[in-house]
Amino acid sequence: MREITYAQAVREALAEEMRRDPRVFLLGEDIGVYGGAFGVTLGLVEEFGEDRVMDTPLSEAAIIGAAVGAAVVGMRPVAEVQFSDFLTIGADQLVNQAAKMRYMFGGKAEVPMVVRTPAGSGTGAAAQHSQSLETWFMHIPGLKVVAPATPHDAKGLLKAAIRDNNPVVVFEHKLLYKTKGPVPEDEYTVPIGKAAVRREGRDVTVVATSVMVPRSLQAAERLADEGISAEVIDLRSLRPLDAETVIASVCKTGRAVVVHEANKFAGFGGEIVGTIVESEAFDFLDAPVLRLAGKDVPIPYNPRLEKAAVPQEDDIVEACRRLMRESRRVRVGGMA
């Protein structure tokens, strides 16, 4: 199978859906001739014209608000917010309007819109351009939230999001845009609400999303050399959440590490932990579930501090080692 970059996969998804459905159009800052801040929409304005690839003013409230209005009257807009930090500026339109309209109108109104946005740290963009705000929007009934980790899923989930009749927020990590992976040339979608087991294991479950998936897979390779078999689950979809896949894995391994880039306090890792301990998996646990997350600080500009602020491969390896040590102590203590 051919390999393309994550950015190319997103661009293919947009182009294919625009060719398939004339109601699909794009809007956002500098997405036309410039091709977007990360070059994802390069070439699309030449094919589809300025009426369907619309450069907007620098106003996230206007971008998301226009998308809501267009969706309600039958279009299928895909809005790009240049950095996920600035979803905050369009939060009223997204949280109070898009998420609630279908409910408030008794199902008579649908809001089939997508908001794409680059997220996360690692590019030296500092505190106002490097946040991971997924949890904010996971909390809102009526919104769907996805965070693809591979080029395959970046294309398949975006196509599914565009076809969905509900508002979907797609978080695309900046560090993933240049990564390559296999992507079919044939038509396909990836279902929203279904996790993927990226690596089978027997000793510990690592639940990850976005850029933490490749880091977890690299950590699992190192752990295998030490005789620790880690199972890596890529959530892909944060809301709706595939609890069944997570629970089944933890029932098998008896241990779990939940890893995400967003800071730990009130992060979505707590929701995953709650899901595990409120399920039948609790009776299979050999050690407490461990959350591994970003530090409770704004993302620094300094490269060394920026790296230290969020989990890295070494941190995931050590977290899994710690769980193995903890479970041995629990078993010994129980026997005593």
Show Cβ contacts of residue 244 under 8 Å, excluding neighbours closer than 6 positions: none
Q: How would you class 146 by CB atoms within 10 Å of its CB: exposed for 0-12, middle for 13-18, buried for 19 or more?
A: buried
Q: Which of 208, 31, 8 is nearest to 115 (CA)?
A: 31
Q: Are 169 and 145 in contact (CB under 8 A)?
A: yes
Long-range pairs for 175-179 at CB < 8 Å and ≥24 separation? Answer: 175/120, 175/122, 175/123, 175/211, 176/6, 176/148, 176/149, 176/210, 176/211, 177/5, 177/6, 177/7, 177/38, 177/39, 177/40, 177/118, 178/5, 178/6, 178/7, 179/5, 179/6, 179/150, 179/151, 179/214
Q: How far apart are CA 114 and CA 242, in angstroms?
A: 21
Q: Which residue has the tokens 């998308």?
A: 67
Quick check: 209 and 115 in contact, CB under 8 A?
no
152 is an active site residue: no
Of 315, 262, 312, nearest to 290 by C-alpha is 315
Indicate the Cα dihedral angle 114, 118, 119, 122, nearest 10°.
Answer: 170
Are residues 208 and 257 in contact, defined by beta-carbon separation less than 8 angstroms? Answer: no
How many Cα atoms occupy the beta-carbon half-sphere of 299 within 13 Å? 26
Distance (Å, rounded) from C-alpha 158 to C-alpha 150?
Answer: 12
Active-site entry in 129, 152, 173, 260: 129
Phi, psi of 264 (to 5 degrees): -70, -40
So which residues are the catalytic ones? 129
